[in-house]
Amino acid sequence: MLALIPLLPFAGFVVNAFVGRRLPKSVSGLVACGVMVAAFGISLTSAWSVISHHAPIDQTVFTWFTSGDLNVPLALRLDNLSSLMILVITGIGSLIHIYSTAYMHEESDSEYARYFSYLNLFAAFMLVLVLGASFPVMFVGWEGVGLCSYLLIGFWFRKKSAADAGKKAFIVNRIGDFGFILGMLLVFVTLGTLNFQEVAAAVSSYGPETGMGVLTIATLLLFLGATGKSAQIPLYVWLPDAMEGPTPVSALIHAATMVTAGVYMIGRNAELFSHAPITLAVVAAIGTATALMAGTIGLVQNDIKRVLAYSTVSQLGYMFLAMGVGAYAAGIFHLYTHAFFKALLFLGSGAVIHALAGEQDLRNMGGLKKHLPITYWTFLIGAIAIAGVPPLAGFFSKDEILWKTYSAHWPTYHFLLYVVGLLTALLTATYMFRLVFMAFHGERRHDAPPEHPEEQEPVAGDATPSQVGTLHANTSHAAHGTSHLHDAPPAMAFALIVLALGSIGAGWVGWPHALFGGNNHIEKFLHESFLPPGGSHEPGAPAEGAPAPAAAEGQAAGEAVHEADTSTELMLMGISTGLAAAGIGIAWYFWRRNRNAADDMASRFSGLHRLLLNKYYVDEIYDAAIVQPIRILSTGALWKGIDAGGIDLAVNGVGLGVRGSSSLLRRLQTGSIRAYAASLFLGVVFILGYYLWR
Amino acid sequence: MVPLNYYLVLSGILFAIGTAGVFLRRNLITMLLSIEIMLNAVNLTFVAVGRYWGTVDGQIITFFVMTVAAAEAAVGLALVISLFRHRETLSPDAFTALKW
């Protein structure tokens, strides 16, 4: 039964990949959506049986390979953590499939089928990733979703920027995957098993490592894999470029599901990571730094999807912050709520782009509120949810993370992390509402040429060549009148509305105890998955006196902390809610009430503004520090030196030697029979002479 | 009883005549005939030495040589005729198309 969940989308992939081009759009769309909805149904029943029986489901499909001590069955495991994940993947995945049937409707039949085959294949691999009971099975899904990500980013591969973005995503991920493989091997060498349950059981007898031990190195390598897949510093650069793909793909892969794989992987190995406090400190620091950096970049970008992409990077940073302070449940909780509102925001931006026939530049939008009411209201709900205004979903998960960070005992600089987290919350509210105000409020600036500096355009003069390149659609659509704007068609509106409801209500399962005595079901629910099998102790708190990264985590200890600090927690909630409101206020002041103020700020801090607009020049730094040296080394040394100068020279030298020696030896072929006879005769005489006189 | 040396000297002379013919004559057919003389000189040695030792080995190998010589003459003459049809000459110096 469990194997059916990934197999159904895989069957959809097979149908659409092999016969899809001969099917009309309605059939291939129906197949793709049908298998996803069916998988969602099975996921619901499976998850329900896990919850009602309080017992995980294990299924061994077959023995994959055996080699010496290494025995890897293709085993699937559905516990509380993976039930939540499969519900998110199949549930939100179904909505995005339905949305895509309308969004991709202008493609030809074969392209349409190709799109849905990739999307189904992605869902199948993602489900393998979360259902896998061991590292190798997870790795199959891990690589598979990377492949599908590449295929879908480069879906419009005739456009060079899309093909390049796909390659960039694939190559950057490869660096992370290399770390993942090494980490996996190190775990096997150290603990002798690759099964998550057995790893957790084996590691639970260890004390936490205080120095740079083997567990720390293994978890750091695994975390490198997570930074690649989940777009964290230093490997986040591919995600903003990945926005070249179709918008529903950005919603499904690059916001809701695939990029959370790294967070999920840490949650799956909570026990392992808990025993490596140094790794946890690194995870928390990287997550926080990424959250802040991406948030500041998101503040000035002008492409609607890029703002959302940086927002995703920033929110993923939050999740890693939670993982790093040992609040695994809070991190997964944020993953779950983020899936709703970020998918909603991406699909909303897709509806805007769809209505404007390909326009993505915020400076050419404005005043869309009255033309796209469904899109506007659902987008607004998403923006409020991500900004962290109670009682929408984002508030609960983000506040849980901030609270857990504040009350953590490890890492020692957790208070700094908390402050940066708060700052990022402010930034989040600001850039999201900047988006809302620029796109939906004010006057239409749809026809404004982006090259000309205008008072309505805060950053027009600073448009970089790459940004100008994204505006190519502008001229061809300038003739479109307001009357051509159409709101989301039914399939898209359906997905938007369902996700908007989710963005409102999804957080209520994690209602904190401090606020009107909620009981945070999600934390208790997820907590079981982070414990080693049969163990009842707190993860990460096995020994006295050692750093206890997860001391605030869990029921017994957690209850006590909550009782004591309810007032503190309420106060922190007040602060973060106030900051969210302040962020919205700032956005309202700069981009709604007084547009010139934004220009003034941009020109007053022009250096900073340019730094942010150019994304801290990270792409340029990577290009200069890594890409160009490799290129120079490859061209100068490996190509011109070793290949052309060494290998080619040897091969050509053999040819030249043969040719030169034969040009001498051919002179023996004189054509005179007498000469041949004489040489034969002399040869015989010499040989006979040798034998007779020796 | 003729001593063995006489036979050997005779066959040496015949062999020298054949070799000289191969080297000196400018006619392919004559050269083929000279090769036959060389072969028969060798045959004579075989037979003579076989008789000297009182065995039949020399005579057996002579039959082999004669068979091969017959085949060689057939093929050689066929080639010569074919060559003549192309060039209207039998001089070996006319056929140098395959030299360097």
Q: What is the DSSP string of A556-584?
A: HHHHHHHHHHHHHHHHHHHHHHHHHHHHH
- Which pLDDT score is estimated for A446? 56
Query: Would you say A286 and A227 are in contact if contact means Cβ atoms under 8 Å apart?
Result: yes
Structure tokens at B74: 């057939």
pLDDT number for residue A268: 93
Interface contacts A/B by beta carbons within 8 Å:
30
The pLDDT score that the predictor gives to residue A535 is 56
Tell me which residue in B23, B97, B99 faces A674 most closely, judged by beta carbons: B23
Within 8 A of B96 by CB-CB distance, chain A residues are 670-672
A17 residue type, one letter: A
| Residue A213 confidence class, pLDDT cut points 50, 70, 90 | confident
**Whether A688 contacts chain B with CB within 8 A:** no
By three-state DSSP, how is residue A297 classified? Answer: helix
A321 residue type, one letter: L
Over 50: is that where the pLDDT of A469 sits? no
Give the dihedral sign, CA B51/B57/B61/B66: positive
**Which residue in chain B is spatially nearest to A675 when comparing CA positions?**
B23
Which residue among B23, B31, B98 places its CB closest to the CB of A678?
B23
User: With 60 as the cut, is the pLDDT of residue A399 above it?
Assistant: yes
What pLDDT is attached to residue A668? 84
| Per-residue pLDDT at A563 | 56
* pLDDT per position as a tens digit, A595-644: 788 788 888 888 888 888 888 888 899 989 988 999 999 998 888 889 88
Distance CA A467, CA B77 (A): 88
Set of chain A residues whose Cβ sits within 8 Å of the Cβ of B100 = 666-671
Beta pairing partners, A63: A73
> Is A614 exposed, middle or buried (CB count within 10 Å of its CB: 0-12, 13-18, 19+)?
middle
Amino acid code (one letter) for A190: T
Task: Kindly determine whether residue B92 and residue A678, on different chains, have CB atoms separated by under 8 Å.
Answer: no
pLDDT tens track for A559-596: 555 555 788 888 888 999 999 999 999 998 888 887 78
Residue A537 has pLDDT above 80, yes or no: no
The residue ranking higher by pLDDT, A366 or A224, is: A224
pLDDT of residue A169: 94
- Is A670 in Cβ contact with B98 (below 8 Å)? no
Mark yes or no for CB contact B23/A670 under 8 Å: no
Q: Does A674 contact B at CB distance below 8 Å? A: yes
A35-49, A63-77, A119-133, B46-60: segment of lowest average pLDDT = A63-77
Would you state the pLDDT for residue A542?
Answer: 38
Which residues 631-670 on chain A approach chain B with CB closer than 8 angstroms?
Answer: 666-670
The SS3 call for residue A351 is helix
Helix (H) / strand (E) containing A162 = helix A160-191
Q: Does position A471 have pLDDT exceeding 50, yes or no? A: no
Q: How far is C-alpha A260 from the geometric centre of its chain's CA atoms? A: 6
pLDDT band of residue A173 (cuts 50, 70, 90) is very high
What is the tens place of the pLDDT at every residue in A287-345? 999 999 999 999 989 899 999 999 999 999 999 999 999 899 999 999 999 999 999 99
**Measuring CA to CA, which residue among A275, A267, A274, A272 is closest to residue A230?**
A267
Helices (H), A107-154: 109-131, 135-153
B12–A contact, CB cutoff 8 A: no
Q: Counting beta carbons within 10 angstroms of the beta carbon of residue A519, is it exposed (0 to 12), middle (13 to 18) or buried (19 or more)?
A: exposed
Percent of chain A with pLDDT over 70: 90
- pLDDT for the residue A657: 94
In the structure encoding, which two tokens stand for residue A258, read together? 């695939």
Residue A656 neighbours by CB under 8 Å, 6+ apart: none
- Residue A212 confidence (pLDDT) above 50: yes
Rounded mean pLDDT of A89-109? 93
A375-404 mean pLDDT: 91
Structural class in CATH, domain B27-88? mainly alpha
pLDDT in tens, A223-278: 999 999 999 988 999 999 999 999 999 999 988 899 999 999 999 999 999 999 99
Average pLDDT over residues A525-535: 80
Closest-CA distance, B19 to chain A, in angstroms, reads 9
Tell me: pLDDT of B75 over 90: yes
What lies within 8 Å, CB to CB, of A495 at 6+ separation is: A95, A96, A98, A99, A347
Q: Label residue A478 by pLDDT band (50, 70, 90).
A: very low
Q: DSSP code of A408?
A: -
Q: Where are the beta strands (DSSP E) in A348-411?
A: none
Q: Sign (positive/negative) of CA torsion A561, A562, A568, A569?
A: positive
Decide: helix, strand or coil at residue A361: strand
> At A58, which helix (H) or strand (E)?
strand A57-67
Q: List the single best residue of A668, A674, A679 to mutate versus B (max B Cβ within 10 A).
A: A674
Taking each continuous run of H as one helix and of E as one strand, the counts in chain A are: 29, 2
What is chain A's mean pLDDT, rounded?
A: 86
Structure tokens at A605: 């801090």
Encoded amino acid at A481, one letter: G
User: Buried b vs exposed e over A89-118: b needs ≥16 C-beta within 10 Å?
Assistant: bbbbbbbbbbbbbbbbeebeeebbbbbbbb
- Residue in A73, A86, A11 with CA at minimum distance from that of residue A42: A86
CB contact under 8 A, B100 and A670: yes
Tell me the per-residue pLDDT of A669-690, one tens digit each, with 9 for 90 and over: 888 888 888 899 999 999 999 9
| Angstroms from B100 CA to nearest CA on chain A | 6
Nearest CA in chain B to A681: B19
> How many whole angstroms separate alpha carbon A149 and alpha carbon A144?
8
**pTM of the complete model beyond 0.90:** no
What is the per-residue burial (b if ≥16 Cβ within 10 Å, else e) of A157-187?
Answer: eeeeebbebbebbbebbeebbebbbbbbebb
Query: A129, A261 in Cβ contact below 8 A?
Result: yes
pLDDT of residue A367: 82
CB contact under 8 A, B96 and A677: no
| Any B CB within 8 A of A677 CB | yes
Q: Do A666 and B31 touch (CB under 8 A)?
A: no
The CA angle A485-A490-A492, to the nearest 5 degrees, is 80
Provide ipTM, 2 decimals.
0.84
Q: Coil, strand, or helix at residue A539? A: coil
Residue A450: closest CA among A471, A478, A431: A471
**With an 8 Å Cβ cutoff, are A673 and B19 in contact?**
no
Mean per-residue pLDDT, A98-112: 91
Is residue A326 within 8 Å of residue A546, measured between CB atoms? no
Instruction: Please check whether residue B92 touches A, CB under 8 A.
Output: yes
Direct distance between the N- and C-terminal alpha carbons of chain A, in angstroms, rounded to an integer = 90
Return the structure tokens found at A313: 């990077």
Contact list, B31 vs chain A (CB under 8 Å): 673
- Amino acid identity of A69? D
Q: What percent of chain A has pLDDT over 90?
A: 56
Helix or strand holding residue A74 (H, E): strand A70-78
Whole-angstrom distance, CA of residue A295 vs CA of residue A272: 30
Does residue A641 sit in helix, strand or coil?
Answer: helix
The residue whose two tokens read 């026809």 is A447
Taking a contact as any Cβ pair under 8 Å apart, which residues of chain A between 174 and 213 contact chain B? none
Residue A100 to residue A488: CA distance in whole angstroms = 12
The CA distances from residue A668 to A659, A671, A674, A676, in Å, are 15, 9, 13, 9
Whether pLDDT at A483 is above 70: no
Interface of B with A in 42-61 (CB under 8 A): none
Q: Do B23 and A672 touch (CB under 8 A)?
A: no
